[in-house]
Amino acid sequence: MPQYSIHVNGQDRQVNVDEDTPLLWVLRDNLNLVGTKYGCGIAQCGACTVHIDGQAMRSCVLPISSVNGKVTTIEGLSENGDHPMQEAWKEHDVPQCGYCQSGQIMTAAALINQNANPSDDEIKQAMHGNICRCGTYLRIRKAVKTASKKG
Amino acid sequence: MTDNKINSYSRRKFFKVTTVAGGGLVLGFSWLASCKNPEKPEEKLVMPEEWVEMSAFIKIGDNGVVTIASPNPEIGQNVKTSMPMIVAEELGVDWKNVVVEQAGLNSDAFARQVAGGSQSIREGWVSLREAGAKVRTMLVMAAAAAWETEPENCTVENGFVYGPNDQKLGFGELASEAAKLEIPAKVDLKSKEEYTIIGKPKGNVDMDKIITGKPLFGIDTKREGMQYACVMRPPAFGNKLSSFNDEKARKVTGVNDVFQFGDKIAVIASNTWAAMKGKKLLEAEYSEGSTLESTNFHNEELTKLLDQEDVEAMRNDGDVKTAFAEADEVLTRVYESPFLPHNCMEPMNFYADVREDEVELYGPIQTPSWTRSRVSKLLERPEEEINVGMSRMGGGFGRRLYGDFCEEAAEISHLAKTPIQLVFTREDDMMAGTYRPAIKYKIEASIKDGSITGYQLSEAAVNSNMYGLIPNFFPAGAIPNLRVSGKNYQSNITTGAWRAPYTNFLAFAEQSFFDELAEKMGKDEVELRLELLENAKVLAESDERIQYSPGRMQECIKLVTDKANWGNAAEGVYQGISAYYSHNTHVAEIAEVVMENGAPKVAKVYCAVDCGIVINPEGAINQIEGGIIDGVGHAMFGNLEFDNGKPSSSNFDTYRLIRNSEAPDVEVYFVESNEDPTGLGEPSLPPAGGAVANAIYKATGKRMYKQPFVQHEEILG
């Protein structure tokens, strides 16, 4: 089995996995970083969103062999859970079941990296790819707005 | 008075928290910061060195920190916050000193450990308050004894007992003495005016873990020696497994075993990806074991059933036939709904370790007790040998009422003789569902001399009919001649409860129908509803089968019409109303639709709710917003068809769920109430579809008779 070296949350990690193994399962099963969630496996729901060099990426369709760059997962978004987006999530008491929320937060954090002050429409469009079956969309919009004001 | 059964003090115990190192275990609890005040620095809670177990619900630490067990499964309805809030209120502890833990299945100590029917708060209201009050009473008695005074002379506030002469003792100081006392059988409960926790917004107790990605959900389970299992199930309902070839699957690195059980094939692997990949490489042949059904076939069968006469009535008031015969006019409409999968964002999964001495089950399940008994029968093991632990659930919506996946996990672990985590792929989850069944309703009403004299509702459903109580919902009692009946077609497609079972579609049908009736009668839709509810007041007094309160529903309608400024919407904004009682809660909603690029778009929904006393306003509003968005989304887009037994969609590329940019804004208002609280996980969903349909009619002149509305291509593009 080939060995891959990836940079995750500030650390270099070595894993022995098949080359087609999606980054999602490397994170969850090999590196025990289970905050990144499996939702659909075909890049349609956003639950598996991580950052690669600051860009939001769907880790469920990203083979380990193609991962270049620095990977950040929800566990590494901030040291003390105090990224402006995480703080805003608390302020608006966003989650219901909570399952999709780490993907939502990662998408939202990447958005404000690139667009510090997104409009309401830009927020809706950026968050379009992340499904929440509980329907917490309104709170997500408000939280992104709050975080962007603070950022 | 409900006794919590853990009354014998011999079962209470002191125990040392071994995890506490010299400096104490310091945990940060983010929910301490008021969710409206993020500026407030996080307070740190120091864990005690010693706990005293006061009851199954409550442990008190030597430093006054209190652990409250949340008995019911958490599926996102936020009972893990709201149920302990009720206990904490009566206990008299400061919420910031409370740690919440999820209880395991313990039928001796806790009543009804089920997440379903929006009943956790309503059914727990007495026992949760008593659990807190009993321990508070014991703490007061211990303090009174120490001060040689009577308990009546003592008061409790924020984790301290106060005596008549400026004495003060903390719960932590009193716990060990208090634990020696008998748990009182009868206790006094606070009045609503005395509440300091109930009615105040409290953030989700799992917030920190959710936003930092800590292991919380069943799918995050990792145990020593655990392997992963994926299962290949027949692709169509009615298929039987004939043969299979596992040669390619076995070559996948990490796949350790492949075997058949029933018509399914299990792939056991050392990681999730290998199990999924192995499953994909299985080659299987199937034969037709029973009928392979298609949506067209269901449509024909249900239509036949709708037209069938002499079906036994679930409720029969007056004489509908005569009312129809004597009417000036009869309106008849048919409403149709498709199957729906649940689509919990966390696919079904479960951990099982079937050993000779005991069976351990852990994971996301709404019905742990039922699951234990099913696994007990399946494995022929006594229930005492089976432990069931509950993880936080990535959604339930009724799917996790059914423990089929727990049984599968137990059977696989039993056969493979290894602890396993069973994981459904999304495709498994959508294609091996327990679907909301396809249903059709025919509704007929007679109008004579300007009033509604008769009402007949006929239901035709796949597999099952309306629950016993629903025939006694509105308009039962409001119309003198009323008949409700149902027939079903027995299918091999598995069906079951789906968020707000039955009413999730029935409310749309009825509330659309009343709008059309109002138009026929030349009445305002709100006026007609208020009038019918006024009529219902007489019968609701005398007929105890009637489930809703006409007066409370009228108040909801008045509140929502006031807030939405009914009848005075801005130009280009079209309003539709819907009011529905379900799961013991009254809800009225007004949807606002605007035309965008020639198609109607739901821009906003106003909602008025009477759920009695509101336990946690922030969580309550969140539930109501979510139910509305979910209801709008499924009415607009939700659709699952069958072709020769095979579901039409298997993943989110072909199955449409509402997305962020499509979600309407929501404004929520509560009717002030001192009534006992009722649940909120479901009741805001049923009215949403009708409110949207009625607003779309105002905007376009087209009535919606079929869900999902997106099928009406001529108006929705």
> Is A76 in a helix, a strand, or coil?
helix
pLDDT of residue A151: 60
C-alpha span between B51 and B47 (Å, rounded) = 10
Q: Are B42 and B34 in contact (CB under 8 A)?
A: no
Please tell me chain B's helix, strand, coil percentages from 3-state DSSP, rounded to the nearest 5. Answer: 35, 25, 40
pLDDT of residue B716: 64
Does any domain span residue B700? yes
Domain boundary among B391, B423, B455: B423
Q: Amino acid identity, residue B183?
A: I
Q: Given a cut of 80, is residue B466 above it in pLDDT? A: no
The answer to whether residue B168 neighbours chain A at the CB level (below 8 Å) is no
Contact flag B211-A137 (C-beta cutoff 8 Å):
no
User: How many other C-beta atoms lie within 10 A of the C-beta of residue B334?
Assistant: 17
Name which of A40, A41, A137 is nearest B660 (Cβ-Cβ): A137
What superfamily would CATH give domain A84-150? [2Fe-2S]-binding domain (1.10.150.120)
Does any domain span residue B3? no
* Relative orientation angle of helices B686-700 and B617-637, to the nearest 10 degrees: 50
pLDDT of residue B715: 65
Q: How many folded domains does chain B comprise?
A: 3
Does any domain span residue B301? no
Residue ranges for chain A with pLDDT beneath 50: none
What secondary structure letter does DSSP report for B471? G
The answer to whether residue B395 neighbours chain A at the CB level (below 8 Å) is yes
Computed over every residue of chain B, the mean pLDDT equals: 92
Distance from CA of B51 to the nearest CA of A (A): 28
Beta bridge partners of A16: A3
**How far apart are the two ends of chain A, measured CA to CA in Å?**
43
What secondary structure letter does DSSP report for A30? I
State whether B204 and B228 are in the same domain: no
Contact flag B203-A93 (C-beta cutoff 8 Å):
yes
Q: Given a cut of 70, is residue B443 above it in pLDDT? A: yes
Q: Given a cut of 70, is residue B682 above it in pLDDT? A: yes
Give strand ranges (E) for chain A.
Answer: 3-8, 11-16, 49-52, 55-58, 70-72
State whether B119 and B262 are in the same domain: no
Distance from CA of B482 to the nearest CA of A (A): 36
Q: Are B57 and B87 in contact (CB under 8 A)?
A: yes
Please tell me chain A's helix, strand, coil percentages from 3-state DSSP, rounded to the nearest 5. Answer: 40, 15, 45
Does any domain span residue B548? yes
C-alpha span between B256 and B229 (Å, rounded) = 10
Domain boundary among B171, B190, B212: B212
State whether B473 and B375 are in the same domain: no
The CATH class of A3-76 is: alpha beta
Assign B11 a pLDDT band (cuts: 50, 70, 90): very low
pLDDT of residue B654: 96
pLDDT of residue B469: 81
In a 13 Å sphere around the CA of A107, the CA atoms on its Cβ side amount to 27
User: Domain residues for B352?
Assistant: 218-289+348-423
pLDDT of residue B1: 35
Name which of B36, B76, B661 is nearest A97 (Cβ-Cβ): B76
Q: What are phi and psi of B344, to 5 degrees?
A: -60, 140
User: How many other C-beta atoms lie within 10 A of the C-beta of residue B13?
Assistant: 11
Domain segments of chain A: what residues?
3-76, 84-150
Q: Which residues, 6+ apart, have CB-to-CB distance to B570 below 8 Å?
A: none
* String of DSSP letters for B158-188: TTEEE-TTS-EEEHHHHHHHHTTSPPPS---
**Is 0.90 topped by the overall pTM?**
yes
State whether B502 and B531 are in the same domain: yes
Using a pLDDT cut of 70, give the percent of chain B over it.
Answer: 93
Name which of B201, B217, B252 is nearest A99 (Cβ-Cβ): B217
Residue B341: name the closest of B203, B499, B215 by CA: B499
User: What average pLDDT does range B118-135 have in this prediction?
Assistant: 94
User: What average pLDDT does range B584-589 have in this prediction?
Assistant: 98
pLDDT of residue B5: 36
Contact flag A97-B346 (C-beta cutoff 8 Å):
yes
Residue B124: name the closest of B98, B170, B85 by CA: B85
Does any domain span residue B295? no
Structure tokens at B87: 């206990």
The answer to whether residue B652 neighbours chain A at the CB level (below 8 Å) is yes
Assign B706 a pLDDT band (cuts: 50, 70, 90): very high
Q: Are B49 and B20 in contact (CB under 8 A)?
A: yes
User: What average pLDDT does range B323-345 have in this prediction?
Assistant: 98
pLDDT of residue B19: 36
> Is B654 in a helix, a strand, or coil?
coil
State whether B371 and B498 are in the same domain: no
C-alpha span between B431 and B448 (Å, rounded) = 49
C-alpha span between B687 and B606 (Å, rounded) = 11
Q: What is the CATH number of the domain that holds B552?
A: 3.30.365.10
Domain boundary among B159, B192, B212: B212
User: What average pLDDT does range B88-97 have in this prediction?
Assistant: 97
User: What average pLDDT does range B297-302 have in this prediction?
Assistant: 97
Contact flag A93-B622 (C-beta cutoff 8 Å):
yes
User: How many other C-beta atoms lie within 10 A of the C-beta of residue B473?
Assistant: 24
On the 0-12 / 13-18 / 19+ scale of CB atoms within 10 A, B374 is middle
- E strand or H helix at B134: helix B120-146
* String of DSSP letters for B605-646: EEEEEE-SS-S-HHHHHHHHHHHHHHHHHHHHH--B-EETTE
User: What average pLDDT does range B672-681 have in this prediction?
Assistant: 96
Beta bridge partners of B608: B588, B669
pLDDT of residue B464: 84
User: What average pLDDT does range B149-164 have in this prediction?
Assistant: 97
- E strand or H helix at B157: strand B155-157
Does any domain span residue B430? no
State whether B677 and B567 are in the same domain: yes
User: What average pLDDT does range B457-479 have in this prediction?
Assistant: 91
Dihedral, CA of residue B134, residue B140, residue B143 and residue B147, to nearest 10: -140
Chain A residues close to B253, C-beta within 8 Å:
1, 18
| pLDDT tens digits, B18-68 | 333 333 333 333 333 333 333 444 456 888 999 999 999 999 999 999 999
Assign B114 a pLDDT band (cuts: 50, 70, 90): confident
pLDDT of residue B310: 82
State whether B243 and B199 are in the same domain: no
C-alpha span between B83 and B81 (Å, rounded) = 6
Assign B15 a pLDDT band (cuts: 50, 70, 90): low
Chain B residues close to A107, C-beta within 8 Å:
none
* Relative orientation angle of helices B120-146 and B79-91, to the nearest 10 degrees: 30
Structure tokens at B536: 């219902």
| pLDDT tens digits, B358-396 | 999 999 999 999 999 999 999 999 999 999 999 999 999
Q: What are phi and psi of B47, to 5 degrees?
A: -75, 145
* Closest-CA residue of chain A to B40: A91
pLDDT of residue B527: 97
| pLDDT tens digits, B240-266 | 999 999 999 999 999 999 999 999 999
pLDDT of residue A150: 73
Chain A residues close to B395, C-beta within 8 Å:
97, 99, 133-134
pLDDT of residue B3: 38
User: What average pLDDT does range B572-600 have in this prediction?
Assistant: 96
State whether B108 and B201 are in the same domain: yes
C-alpha span between B33 and A93 (Å, rounded) = 11
Structure tokens at B217: 């959900």
pLDDT of residue B714: 64
On the 0-12 / 13-18 / 19+ scale of CB atoms within 10 A, A19 is exposed
State whether B565 and B701 are in the same domain: yes
Q: Which residues, 6+ apart, have CB-to-CB distance to A19 below 8 Å?
A: A2, A63, A64, A65
pLDDT of residue B46: 87
Does any domain span residue B605? yes
Distance from CA of A49 to the nearest CA of B (A): 12
pLDDT of residue B22: 30
pLDDT of residue B40: 42
Does any domain span residue B296? no
On the 0-12 / 13-18 / 19+ scale of CB atoms within 10 A, B678 is buried
Least confident of B103-107, B460-464, B611-615: B103-107
Radius of gyration of chain A (CA): 15
Using a pLDDT cut of 90, give the percent of chain B over it.
Answer: 87
The answer to whether residue B226 neighbours chain A at the CB level (below 8 Å) is no
C-alpha span between B394 and A32 (Å, rounded) = 19
User: How many other C-beta atoms lie within 10 A of the C-beta of residue B309?
Assistant: 6
pLDDT of residue B512: 98
Q: What is the residue whose two structure tokens read 């940079």?
A: A7
State whether B595 and B672 are in the same domain: yes
